[in-house]
Structure 1
Amino acid sequence: MDISARADYAVRALLVLAEDADGDVAHPADELARRAGVPAKFLEAILGDLRRAGFVTSRRGSRGGYLLARDPHDVTLGSVLRTVDGPLAEVRGQRPHETHYDGAAQHLATVWVAARAALRDILDETTLADVLAGDLPAHVRALAEPPEAWQSR
């Protein structure tokens, strides 16, 4: 699995907005980029996608900028990733359930579907509010707990 820069930047920007979701303070794109630690030019295009998908709203004027349009408890990481990158898992440009193999690889599609299900189980069950509070779902914490989970292979 590869989380794109777009997806990472989108989630980080939304986390900054979620941090201030109780207020009515709009954040200009350059401030949001600085606070999220992402390139401003890159973020501007991502904010357009997030606005069209209803994750953020924009306000014009001297107090203009972006605000989170949804409750942070209602925004899953999976929904954000799908918005900026499309499907969570693809195999050669196809969705896992669309793959078909013959011969020795005949059961491989089942593995790809299971991998997508595992991604969904993590990303569709984890919200911005969870990440912000550090109160991740128990099954997500359990997967990240073993030291080998943090090692590159």
Structure 2
Amino acid sequence: MRVSAKVDYALRATIELAAAAPEQMKGERLAAAQSIPQKFLENILADLRNGGIVVSQRSADGGYRLARPPAEITVADVIRVVEGPIASVRGERPDDLAYVGTAVPLRDTWIELRSAMRAVLEHTTLADLVERGGS
């Protein structure tokens, strides 16, 4: 599995927000805390806001916070919001693939891989990650 910078940054930012929950944090503070380029983070936070993972408040005291408790947001939720499906092959769902000849079993391998990734990503919450970090 290849994890893009966008997914890595989104997860780092949401874990930081989870550790601060229920308080909110300014984007600049989030970027500095996780060494994420601020402009890139602003775009990611917009995706997370549009996807219902974070909410924002504009004001002098404004900032970002999680839209739900950290125990209700999984790693898979964050990945899907910023990048789409957990596992795809050439942009297609493994179930929709068709192979011929000796490659036919490959489809089942992709489906098994997706299932294994989901088993971890859909059962690991932001709260779990904060707890593991000892914060």
Same topology, TM > 0.5: yes
What is the deviation of 1:37? 2.0
Number of the residue aligned with 2:80: 82
Counterpart mapping for 1:29-68 below 5 A: 29-68=27-66
Higher RCO, 1 vs 2 (CA within 8 Å, ≥6 residues apart): 2
**What code does the residue aligned with 2:106 have?**
L
Instruction: Give the match's secondary structure for 1:89.
Output: coil
Instruction: List 4+ stretches of structure 1 deviating above 4 A.
Output: none
Report the TM-score when normalising by structure 2.
0.94
Give me the whole-angstrom Cα distance separating, in 1, the residues matched to 2:2 and 2:109. 17
Q: What secondary structure sits across from 2:56 in the alignment?
A: strand
Unaligned runs of 5+ in 1: 136-153
Percent identity over the alignment is: 45
The letter of the residue matching 1:118 is A
8 Å CA contact 2:22–2:66 kept in 1: the answer is no
User: Unpaired runs of 5+ in structure 2?
Assistant: none
**Partners of 1:46 and 1:84 in 2: CA distance:** 7
Map residues 5-44 of structure 1 onto 2, 5 A cutoff: 5-23=5-23, 26-44=24-42
- Following the alignment from structure 1 to structure 2, what is the Cα–Cα distance between the partners of residues 62 and 39? 22
- What residue number does 1:101 align with? 99
2:55 is paired with a residue whose SS is strand
SS in 1 for 2:6: helix
Deviations 1:87-140 (A, max 9, x none): 1111112111111111111111000000000110010010000011018xxxxx
Structure 2 partner of 1:142: none
Q: How does 1:95-134 map to 2 (within 5 A)?
A: 95-134=93-132
Matched residues, number: 133
Q: Summarize deviations over 1:49-96 as a string: whole Å, max 9, x none.
A: 111111111111110111111100000001100110111111112111
Cα-to-partner distance string for 1:1-24 (whole Å, 9 max, x where unaligned):
11111111011001111111133x
CA distance, structure 2, for counterparts of residue 39 and residue 71 of structure 1? 26
Question: TM-score, normalization: structure 1?
Answer: 0.84
